[in-house]
Structure 1
Amino acid sequence: MVGRGVELDRSVPALLFKIGRYPLHQGSVGAVRSLGRAGVAVHAVVEDAYTPTALPRHLSRRHVWPTTGLEDPAALLERLLRIGRGLPARAVLVPTDDEAALLAAGAQDRLAECFLLPEVEPDLPAGLAGKRGLYRRCLAHGVPAPDTRFPVDREQLVTDAAELGYPVVVKNLAPWARLRAPVVAGTTLVSDEGTLLALVDAPRSVLLQTYLPREAAQDWIVHLYTAPDGRCAPVFTGLKLRSWPAHAGVTTYARALANPGLARRSARLCRAIGYRGPADLDWRLDLRDGRYKLVDFNPRVGAQFRMFETDRGLDVVRALHLDLTGRAIPAGGQREGRRYVAEHLDVAAWLAYRGRAGAARPPGCPPVRGGVEPAWLAWDDPLPAAAVAVRALGAALRRYGR
């Protein structure tokens, strides 16, 4: 029994699957703990034996498989199947990044030999994780989104940026590109034409997006699970308060905050496009026009999913396991006020946000309550946090040495 009424099928294991080297991935550790504490045997693909995901006490077995994203997808698929054939039973497959989710969706029939995974149109996750496909779907379904351009050469790059206005946001266009040929390290804010031309040498691989000023915007997170009948349950909403790099990077501090209108909007979109499975959506509320604008749709479990659970102890990963093992997903209200902090990044984020607009609690946001969910630290599972501390210290010393 888990929490206050969620019971998982302990005879069905789970495998966490990722592509690329990013050893400090808090979502994977959260998934191991969530399922492992429920009595599920959890296996995980890891870069090496000393990453945080390889060390939780709730992990049944680590599969050391350092990938880069440069491999032939067919070779990735064969290796994944070899791991699956060695598991004690068909396992729930839990992709923890976009590339893994895309590979799994495109090979559902073959992976069904060893794994349980949501049935979804094979090309749909790629069309959502890819920025061009997402923007087109937003236009087709009347979903507001920041004005976005897709330049094909340097001349159009300059023209598009001038029309959008500086500063302008630059992003890699597609999930695989961020591993194989990234133009920018992540979401990047560019202040002028000279910087843009120096930064972008492959215009076809990026998009440009209008910048919504931080003093006139709020960043909202939606995590949900869509069942085969199109019902979205659970649907969680929260407010991102800090990120690193500041205002453009991964979430370092956020809190669960009910937003029924945004929850309905997100569920309606998933039904309209026929999406199935877990999803992590990023919306930006433009305070100038009062509209929520969809920035990202990640067709997978989000890194900060453990911020959200119902009053019965249900989170998105547990919903995935329940659904794929034929069990009902129990209804329940979102636990309000739960906070999430990524300890290894939030100190720098806090320093960057201090004194800036958007750092304080937004107007109308109720007082903090509901407890804190650290990304790494857990008293019953201390090794992942220790591994993060060692790796973060090593990285800091290397930067200092340079």
Structure 2
Amino acid sequence: MGGQGVELDRSVPALLFKVGRYPLHQGSVGAVRSLGRAGVAVHAVVEDAYTPTALSRHLSRRHVWPTTGLEDPAELLDRLLRIGRGLPARAVLVPTDDEAALLAAGARDRLAECFLLPGVEPDLLAELADKRGLYRRCLAHGVPTPDTRFPADRDRLVACAGELGYPVVVKNLAPWDRLRAPVVAGTTLVPDERALLALVGAPRAVALQAYVPREVAQDWIVHLYAAPDGRCAPVFTGLKLRSWPPHAGVTTYARALANPGLARRSARLCRAIGYRGPADLDWRLDLRDGRYKLVDFNPRLGAQFRMFETECGLDVVRALHLDLTGRAIPAGAQREGRRYVAEHLDVAALLAYRGRAGAARPPGYPPVRGGLEPAWPAWDDPLPAAAAAVRALAVAVRRYGR
């Protein structure tokens, strides 16, 4: 479970940084375990001392800082630098959400005093994280993407939804919107006009996206690291099998499956736009026309990144650390068939999918093999799973009470 064939520079610590309160974040726990098992001192910004991330035995130090996303960016940067100045050496900064990634990229020169960061252009990163900006990039580079509209008022909202057809996908327009003025809690599938007006209400910034029905679609995940020379290595591909909310939300169950064509397509896009650093891309294969359509481009570490690793133990967060500390990123094929499950969400997802038509499977879909990577349980790190179970139960009780 350690570094295996990947040797990281243990003199360089890492700091996980996020903006907003979401204590049940499996990606943070995965990053702490991945780097910690390789001998790196890992620090993390956490909401409180009892989040799953804060209780990991692989965490060197927790920094309790319950951010909301409503703070002045200058205030966030000042506090981040104070943490950085207290670290034993310049650290690899690992943003785990879009807001943190945008904040760090925009202040890269200032943060360089304490942190190592990829050399991605802030404007490019902001454009990719914004639904309107990503849509324009896709059109400019000939990348297929679901038809998308950005209505400015109630009349256009209704008209645009009618043009796209119901059900329609509703998304917040830009990363900071979900914290400061969210229209929806996350990607939401709306069945009809009545539900759309009840959800959106008064004119607000929103993105409407055409829905590709699950019966004629496959949802593919690509996680990669784009190095300064433009080379993307590693590039991992996998198939999303369940999500929560169903068919539109975050991944709850998925498998690592090699898709060389999609890997090349994703790497080619990153080279064309000049992207550098870790990325998490969501593609939907529309079986009606045979095209992979880019749904989201998350310019940071993805929550389910631990589904993917090479035979020598390389994953995306280790590739980030290797690159920023001047070490070579070893080549290698991904471990095929490896499964990933986010237990706190997959129980509800499994119940919701039962009796429904599921996503289409690719030809030659292999039997279950390749091992399982659970989000929370780990034989060498038991406390995060216990904390996640308690918090997930508390959330369920509150929702049931409402």
Bin of the TM-score, shorter chain as denominator length = over 0.9
Give distance in 1, aligned partners of 2:334 and 2:374: 18
- Cα distance, 1:354 vs structure 2: 1.4
- Cα distance, 1:201 vs structure 2: 2.8
In the other structure, the counterpart of 2:263 is 263
Whether 1:297 aligns to 2:269 is no
Whether 1:321 aligns to 2:321 is yes
- Cα distance, 1:396 vs structure 2: 2.1
- Cα distance, 1:399 vs structure 2: 2.7
- Cα distance, 1:117 vs structure 2: 0.5
- Cα distance, 1:2 vs structure 2: 4.8
Deviations 1:116-162 (A, max 9, x none): 01011121111001000000000000000000001011111111111
- Cα distance, 1:359 vs structure 2: 5.5
Task: Rate the CA distance shift 1:215–1:184 in 2: closer, same or farther, 3 A.
Answer: same
In the other structure, the counterpart of 2:334 is 334
Give distance in 2, aligned partners of 1:250 and 1:199: 20
Whether 1:286 aligns to 2:286 is yes
Task: Rate the CA distance shift 1:36–1:4 in 2: closer, same or farther, 3 A.
Answer: closer
- Cα distance, 1:204 vs structure 2: 4.2
Give distance in 2, aligned partners of 1:193 and 1:393: 34
Secondary structure in structure 1 of the residue aligned to 2:122: coil
Give distance in 1, aligned partners of 2:148 and 2:361: 29
- Cα distance, 1:400 vs structure 2: 3.1
Contact conserved, 1:150 with 1:204, CA < 8 A, in 2? no
- Cα distance, 1:254 vs structure 2: 0.2
Task: Rate the CA distance shift 1:360–1:156 in 2: closer, same or farther, 3 A.
Answer: closer
In the other structure, the counterpart of 2:122 is 122
Output the amino acid matched with 1:367.
P
After TM superposition, the score normalised by the length of structure 2 is 0.98
Contact conserved, 1:183 with 1:202, CA < 8 A, in 2? no
Contact conserved, 2:218 with 2:361, CA < 8 A, in 1? no
Deviations 1:202-259 (A, max 9, x none): 5441011111001010100000000000000000000000001111111000000000
Output the amino acid matched with 1:14.
A
Give distance in 2, aligned partners of 1:193 and 1:351: 27
Output the amino acid matched with 1:190.
V
Output the amino acid matched with 1:177.
D
In the other structure, the counterpart of 2:93 is 93
- Cα distance, 1:31 vs structure 2: 0.1
Secondary structure in structure 2 of the residue aligned to 1:123: helix
Contact conserved, 2:214 with 2:359, CA < 8 A, in 1? no
Secondary structure in structure 2 of the residue aligned to 1:224: strand
- Cα distance, 1:271 vs structure 2: 0.3
Whether 1:276 aligns to 2:276 is yes
Secondary structure in structure 2 of the residue aligned to 1:53: coil
- Cα distance, 1:362 vs structure 2: 4.6
- Cα distance, 1:92 vs structure 2: 0.1
In the other structure, the counterpart of 1:242 is 242
More deviation, 24-33/359-368? 359-368
Secondary structure in structure 1 of the residue aligned to 2:53: helix
Output the amino acid matched with 2:215.
E
Secondary structure in structure 1 of the residue aligned to 2:399: helix
In the other structure, the counterpart of 1:311 is 311
Give distance in 1, aligned partners of 2:263 and 2:58: 32
More deviation, 192-201/23-32? 192-201
Structure 1 residue ranges without an equivalent (≥5): none
In the other structure, the counterpart of 1:25 is 25
Output the amino acid matched with 1:38.
A
Q: Which aligned pairs between 1:1-400 and structure 2 lie closer than 5 A?
A: 2-358=2-358, 361-400=361-400
Give distance in 2, aligned partners of 1:67 and 1:19: 6
Give distance in 1, aligned partners of 2:313 and 2:62: 26
Task: Rate the CA distance shift 1:103–1:334 in 2: closer, same or farther, 3 A.
Answer: same
Deviations 1:290-311 (A, max 9, x none): 0000000000000000000001
Output the amino acid matched with 2:401.
G
Structure 2 residue ranges without an equivalent (≥5): none
Task: Rate the CA distance shift 1:159–1:70 in 2: closer, same or farther, 3 A.
Answer: same
- Cα distance, 1:11 vs structure 2: 0.1
Task: Rate the CA distance shift 1:265–1:324 in 2: closer, same or farther, 3 A.
Answer: same
Report percent identity of matched pairs: 90
Secondary structure in structure 1 of the residue aligned to 2:395: helix
Task: Rate the CA distance shift 1:262–1:362 in 2: closer, same or farther, 3 A.
Answer: closer
Contact conserved, 2:3 with 2:37, CA < 8 A, in 1? no
Give distance in 2, aligned partners of 1:246 and 1:296: 17
Task: Rate the CA distance shift 1:203–1:237 in 2: closer, same or farther, 3 A.
Answer: farther
Contact conserved, 2:15 with 2:43, CA < 8 A, in 1? yes
Contact conserved, 1:19 with 1:67, CA < 8 A, in 2? yes
Contact conserved, 2:218 with 2:359, CA < 8 A, in 1? no
Contact conserved, 2:216 with 2:360, CA < 8 A, in 1? no
- Cα distance, 1:357 vs structure 2: 1.5
Contact conserved, 1:26 with 1:375, CA < 8 A, in 2? yes
More deviation, 390-399/64-73? 390-399
Task: Rate the CA distance shift 1:241–1:374 in 2: closer, same or farther, 3 A.
Answer: same
Contact conserved, 1:353 with 1:359, CA < 8 A, in 2? no
More deviation, 363-372/51-60? 363-372
Give distance in 1, aligned partners of 2:164 and 2:188: 15
Secondary structure in structure 1 of the residue aligned to 2:62: strand
Question: How many matched pairs?
Answer: 402
- Cα distance, 1:368 vs structure 2: 1.3
Deviations 1:317-367 (A, max 9, x none): 000000000000000011000000001111111111112212685542111
Task: Rate the CA distance shift 1:202–1:128 in 2: closer, same or farther, 3 A.
Answer: farther
Secondary structure in structure 1 of the residue aligned to 2:113: coil
Give distance in 1, aligned partners of 2:131 and 2:205: 11
Secondary structure in structure 2 of the residue aligned to 1:54: coil
